[in-house]
Amino acid sequence: MTDRPKPPTKEELIKVCQWIAYIADGTSVVAGVAGDELAGQIVSVASCDPEYADTLSRTGSFVDASFSGQGFDPMRNGCLSYTAGTGEILYPSEARAREGSPDQ
């Protein structure tokens, strides 16, 4: 993400945050993972993949949106860094570059 988007209104931001928290919380219970990590993955991927954002908004499910496309990997398809199990900070753009995939 290089261009700074227009900031949402306070009300718009609250709605979006509540929606993401709702999806992440529900999915975390089923998947047995932390909701804050899922919320971060949702933001990371949806902000750079319009198709994912569309599926997520229609289904209301992180799982449905995650597996709607082949090769979906929230750690690779996103735009935000994340902490690996080793404690190392990783960047999806670097993973895509190593694979020869275009940056998003």
Q: What is the pLDDT of residue 53?
A: 81
Cα separation, 53 vs 57, in Å, equals 6
Query: Helices (DSSP H) in 1-104: which residue ranges?
Result: 10-31, 35-46, 50-59, 62-66, 74-77, 92-99
Whole-structure pTM value: 0.73
Count of residues in the chain: 104
Kind plus residue range of the DSSP H or E element containing 89: strand 89-90
Q: pLDDT per residue over 72-82, tens digit each?
A: 676 777 888 88
Q: What is the pLDDT of residue 11?
A: 95
Q: pLDDT per residue over 9-50, tens digit each?
A: 999 999 999 999 998 888 777 777 788 888 888 888 888 877
